[in-house]
Amino acid sequence: MADSAMQDSRQRRIRRRLRRSPGIRAIAEEVVRPAALRRRQYLPTLDKPMLAAVILLLIIGSLMVFSSTFDWSNQTYGNALGFFLEEHLRNVILATIALALCAAIDYRFWKRFAVWLLLITIIALVAVRLFGEDKFGARRSFTAGRLQPGELAEFTIVFYLAAWLGSNNARIRSVFFGLLPFMAVVGAIAFLIILQPDLSSAAIVVLTACVMFFVAGANIFHMGAVGGIAGFIGLIVIQSWPYAQRRIATFFAGLSDVTLIEYHTQQAITAFLRGGWIGVGLGQSEQKFGALPAPHTDSIFAIIGEELGVMGAAVVVALYIAFAIRGFQTARRARDSFGALLCVGFTSWVIIQALLNIAVMTGAIPSTGVPLPFISFGGSSLMVVMIGVGLMLSVHRVATQRKPNTERRSDIANFDRSRRNRRARIPRAGDGPGAIAPGP
For 56-65, how does the pLDDT look when each residue is reduced to its tens digit (9 = 90+)?
999 999 999 8
Instruction: Name the pTM for this structure.
Output: 0.80
Whole-number pLDDT of residue 169:
60
> Residues 403-424: what's their mean pLDDT?
42
d(CA 244, CA 429): 54
d(CA 384, CA 354): 15
- Domain holding 51, by residue range, is 46-104+261-402+411-416
The pLDDT-based confidence of 403 (bands split at 50, 70, 90) is low
Cα–Cα–Cα angle for 103, 108, 110, rounded to 5 degrees: 80
Quickly count: other Cβ atoms within 10 Å of residue 339's Cβ. Answer: 29
Q: Does 167 fall in a domain?
A: yes
Looking at residue 375, the DSSP 8-state letter turns out to be T
Q: Does 327 fall in a domain?
A: yes
Residue 37 has pLDDT above 60, yes or no: no
Q: Does 368 fall in a domain?
A: yes
Whole-number pLDDT of residue 46:
86
Residues 397 and 273 in one domain: yes
The pLDDT-based confidence of 20 (bands split at 50, 70, 90) is low
- C-alpha distances in angstroms, 315 versus 74, 304, 333? 30, 10, 27
Residue 165 has pLDDT above 60, yes or no: yes
Least confident of 142-146, 174-178, 199-203: 142-146
> Residues 328-338: what's their mean pLDDT?
92
Residue 350 has pLDDT above 90, yes or no: yes
- C-alpha distances in angstroms, 355 versus 11, 39, 85, 265? 54, 38, 29, 15
Q: Chain-centre distance of CA 182, in angstroms?
A: 20
Whole-number pLDDT of residue 402:
58
Residue 410 has pLDDT above 80, yes or no: no
Residues 272 and 387 in one domain: yes
Residues 222 and 130 in one domain: yes
d(CA 94, CA 289): 29
Residue 432 has pLDDT above 80, yes or no: no
Higher pLDDT, 259 or 283: 283
Tell me if 50 sits within 8 A of 396, measured CB to CB: yes
d(CA 149, CA 198): 11
Amino acid letter, residue 424: A
d(CA 386, CA 142): 20
d(CA 5, CA 12): 11
Least confident of 124-138, 143-157, 213-227, 371-385: 124-138
- CA-based nearest residue to 335, from 392, 394, 398, 388: 398
Higher pLDDT, 61 or 260: 61
Residues 226 and 302 in one domain: no
Per residue in 272-299, pLDDT (tens digit) is 888 889 888 888 888 888 778 878 888 8
> Residues 149-164: what's their mean pLDDT?
92
Q: Does 268 fall in a domain?
A: yes
Whole-number pLDDT of residue 101:
94
Q: Is 135 in a helix, a strand, or coil?
A: strand
Residues 203 and 273 in one domain: no
d(CA 311, CA 293): 23
Per residue in 85-137, pLDDT (tens digit) is 778 888 999 999 999 999 999 999 999 999 999 999 999 999 888 877 777 66
Q: Is 33 in a helix, a strand, or coil?
A: coil
> Residues 77-92: what's their mean pLDDT?
79
User: Final residue of a domain: which of 180, 207, 240?
Assistant: 240
Tell me if 105 sits within 8 A of 113, measured CB to CB: no
The pLDDT-based confidence of 429 (bands split at 50, 70, 90) is very low
Residue 413 has pLDDT above 50, yes or no: no
Higher pLDDT, 62 or 146: 62
d(CA 377, CA 267): 20
Q: Does 177 fall in a domain?
A: yes
- CA-based nearest residue to 219, from 180, 158, 175: 175
> Residues 241-261: what's their mean pLDDT?
73
User: Final residue of a domain: which of 188, 206, 240?
Assistant: 240
Residues 76 and 192 in one domain: no
Which segment, 130-139, 338-347, 397-406, is predicted with the most confidence on average?
Answer: 338-347
Q: Is 262 in a helix, a strand, or coil?
A: coil
d(CA 372, CA 387): 16
Share of the chain above pLDDT 90, in %: 35
d(CA 390, CA 324): 15
Whole-number pLDDT of residue 198:
81
Which segment, 212-221, 280-289, 342-351, is predicted with the most confidence on average?
Answer: 342-351
Q: Does 251 fall in a domain?
A: no
Looking at residue 133, the DSSP 8-state letter turns out to be E
Residues 51 and 115 in one domain: no
Amino acid letter, residue 226: V
- C-alpha distances in angstroms, 281 versus 81, 161, 180, 284, 308? 19, 44, 53, 5, 6
Q: Does 169 fall in a domain?
A: yes
380-407 per-residue burial string, b: 16 or more CB within 10 A, e: under 16: bbbbbbbbbbbbbbbbbbbbeeeeeeee
d(CA 328, CA 345): 10
Per residue in 315-326, pLDDT (tens digit) is 999 999 999 999
Whole-number pLDDT of residue 72:
78
Which segment, 15-19, 261-265, 389-393, is predicted with the most confidence on average?
Answer: 389-393
Mean of per-residue pLDDT scores for the chain: 79
- C-alpha distances in angstroms, 382 versus 63, 343, 348, 373, 394? 15, 17, 16, 7, 18
Domain count across the chain: 2
Least confident of 25-29, 89-93, 211-215, 233-237: 25-29
Residues 377 and 287 in one domain: yes
Burial of 354 (0-12, 13-18, 19+ CB in 10 A): buried
Q: Does 65 fall in a domain?
A: yes
Whole-number pLDDT of residue 144:
63
Residues 116 and 89 in one domain: no
Whole-number pLDDT of residue 40:
52
